[in-house]
Structure 1
Amino acid sequence: MVNIGPLSLPDFPLLLAPMEDVSDPPFRAVCKDNGADLMYSEFISSEGLIRDAIKSRKKLDIFDYERPVGIQIFGGDEEAMALSAKIVETVQPDLLDINFGCPVKKVVTKGAGAGVLKDIDLMVRLTTAVIKSTSLPVTVKTRLGWDHDSINILEVAERLQDIGVQALTVHGRTRCQLYKGHSDWSWIAKIKDNPRITMPIFGNGDIDSPEKALHYKNTYGLDGMMIGRAAIGYPWIFREIKHYFATGELLPSPTLKERVELCRKHLHKSVEWKGPHTGIFEMRRHYANYLKGLPNIKEFRARLVVLNTAEEIDAVLDEIIVAYDGFVFERTPIEIINYHEKCPV
């Protein structure tokens, strides 16, 4: 078992990453169905929470079927982070996660997310303020450092553990890499190899196939891994990785009907949670991913993104099942490499 405070997870758990505009309850529901062991909310602005911003408060919604689930917050002000931690605790998630890894400019320029990697003392103060304000287990997600010349994750890990952080997830890129190049998990392995480190260490970045997941598991010796972009439109990746770990065999790709029906479930969960207008509008970003690999699908996608009722969308999804009856999805061969050897300087 892997323990995060009082929370017990299975050996080598698979975590769903907190992704802005993606990791909402409808998306988490389909990932849970397919084997995600621990999931996180979208990241939530501490300033938004204490201002009672509607969008931020809505992101606090969690449901019992999702558990265990964590809520992630970000910010650059100690008082705001402390107050937001108290607000988060009222909805009783299983843990509270702090985002010190988001690389986008609008977050970094506010001294939050990956911007804090330039000031470890500030990171420690912010984290301490959160820990003192909640009884929930507090975890952190961050990156290797600001850039290749200032990788400071080894110091960060020790100092965060020393103040009471219960688990650490590291995306194996620097802030300056954004999402380009390859992630470098060798630095994450160095954290785990540190005899002072006793909290669970999870790796994140580039996990997009069962083969790669097993290769990284065996190579870097971490406590688990977090999967983000590869799960968008393909939540089956969790069950496929678990099956490959257990048997060494690849599951068949999900059938056309499986893909369409899971897309349909995602749609209806979205409408149920957000209402028909917003639920349908925000679902439009997902169709291309669910239908990826189908030849000549452009016409159907074009229709899906302009329809305004779930009934109309259901009808088009039914048409797709009929139109592509018998189509078999093929796997793309995966090249297994040691990515840290190619990590750009």
Structure 2
Amino acid sequence: MTLMITSPPAIGPYQLPNPVMLAPMAGVTDRPFRQLCRRLGAGWVVGEMVTADPSLWHTRKSQLRMDHQGEPAPRVVQIAGGDAEMLAQAARLNAELGAQIIDINMGCPAKKVCNKAAGSALMRDEALVAEILDAVVSAVDIPVTLKIRTGWCAASNNALRIAKLAESAGIQALAVHGRHREQRYTGEAEYDTIAEVKSHLAIPVIANGDITSPEKAAYVLRYTGADAVMIGRGAQGNPWIFQQITHYLTHGERLAPPSLTERCQILLEHLQALHAFYGDTMGVRIARKHVGWYLNDDQRFSDAEQRALKQQFNALASTEAQFDWINNAMTHDAAQRLLAKGSHAA
């Protein structure tokens, strides 16, 4: 018996191969991670949030976030801002640079974003939301999608009203994170709001929030009736989650987890891509958080052992030392020897 709830949706001219997406995450979903997740089964990936202010695009951070070189279609660029005309201009410029989908961020809960009346702060001003949606959709001839939360706070759950505005404006798919802004990433995501939104919309609706296993993905699809699920933190250190979910939805059984050798090979390939993309100095720093997430997902180690291994890896200051350390930790016995050596390992 198969568990596939619905056929994968099409967004504009792009037919998804499966209903499992990678969520945009600032500082995480860079080009190396997007390419890795796509190779491991993600049917759709979204780039890191890019500011709508073109005057800031000269910075190295923005340049790297806008780098989609070598990525297959569709190339999805997420923009954030609070000014309708600036967002429209950003959409036009990104389309000229090769974006094939524009995604508008109205879901980010970060204080530095909300303080600029962007991200999820926009949900407090429905008139401005309507103005932004109309401006961006009118500015480009490529599909525009939207990501929102359930509202600003528990007392202002207005996701359905925003969703209806989006569909009326010509938004071609809507992702809903099942938390309001004040929750940030705490507490549990709720799916009743997503189910309500889906029941009123004809465009594809994507469910997001706390989807960390194949069983949870199947449950959320059933419960909400959503067209797809979007994985965020559940993919950190666990990029094979996409193929595991797709297999479960298709066959009704769990795919065997990757072997230790396969996990280490994926990690090494990820680090190689990070260092090639960022260069040695930034690559070393960025690799630390990813290796930390991989260790969090490694059931071979206790919490204390995970902390000790992270401390060892974070002390390494060169690309070569990082690769040597990973190669030396590829078996449980080798990792235990590293732990025994303490902070002088590697």
Q: State the TM-score, normalized to the length of structure 1.
A: 0.89
2:262 pairs, out of 236, 240, 258, with 258
**Matches for 1:18-167 after TM superposition, within 5 Å:** 18-47=24-53, 49-54=54-59, 55-167=61-173
Q: Which residue pairs with 2:196 in the alignment?
A: 190
CA contact (8 A) 1:39 1:66 kept: no
Per-residue CA distance 1:184-234 (angstroms, 9 max, x = gap): 11111112212xx22111100010011111111122211101000000000
1:77–1:259 Cα change, 3 Å: same
Partner residue, 1:289: 293
Counterpart of 1:201? 205
The structural deviation recorded for 1:322 is: 3.8
Residue 28 of structure 2 is aligned to residue 10 of structure 1: no
Structure 1: runs of 5+ lacking an equivalent: 328-345
1:208 aligns to what SS in structure 2? coil
Conserved? CA contact 2:75–2:98, under 8 Å: no
Amino acid corresponding to residue 205 of structure 1 in structure 2: G
Q: SS of 1:187's equivalent?
A: helix
Residue 289 of structure 1: how far off its partner (Å): 1.4
How far is 1:325 from its partner?
6.8
Helix, strand or coil: the match of 1:321? coil
Question: Across the two proteins, how many residue pairs are aligned to each other?
Answer: 323
Q: After alignment, is 200-209 or 124-133 more displaced?
A: 124-133
Which range moves more in the overlay, 272-281 or 300-309?
300-309
Q: Letter of the aligned partner of 2:330 in structure 1?
A: I
Residue in 2 that maps onto 1:309: 318
- Please list every run of at least 4 consecutive aligned residues from structure 1 whose deviation after the TM superposition is greater than 6 angstroms: none
Which amino acid is 1:61 matched to? D
Secondary structure of 2:32's aligned partner? helix
1:102-158 deviation per Cα after TM superposition (whole angstroms, max 9, x unaligned): 111111111000100100110111122222222221000001111111111111111
How many Å apart are 1:6 and its aligned residue? 1.5
Structure 1: how far apart are the matches of 2:179 and 2:240?
Answer: 25
Task: Report the alpha carbon displacement of residue 315 of structure 1 after superposing the two structures with TM.
Answer: 1.2
Q: 1:8 is aligned with what amino acid?
A: Q
Give distance in 1, aligned partners of 2:333 and 2:220.
Answer: 36
* Matching residue of 1:230: 234
3-state SS of paired residue (1:58):
helix
- Structure 2 unaligned segments of length 5 or more: list them: 1-7, 337-346
Cα gap change, 1:50/1:255 in structure 2, threshold over 3 Å: closer, same or farther? same
Alignment correspondent of 1:338:
none
2:272 to 268, 271, 274: 268
Alpha-carbon RMSD: 1.8
**Equivalent pairs: percent with the same residue?**
36
Partner of 2:3: none
The answer to whether the 8 A contact 1:97-1:138 is kept is yes
Change in CA separation of 1:313 and 1:144 when aligned onto 2, cut-off 3 Å: same
> In structure 2, do the counterparts of structure 1 residues 154 and 116 end up closer, same or farther at CA, with 3 Å as the change threshold?
same
Residues in 2 aligned to 1:234 and 1:4: alpha-carbon distance in whole angstroms? 26
> Which residue does the alignment assign to 2:282?
278
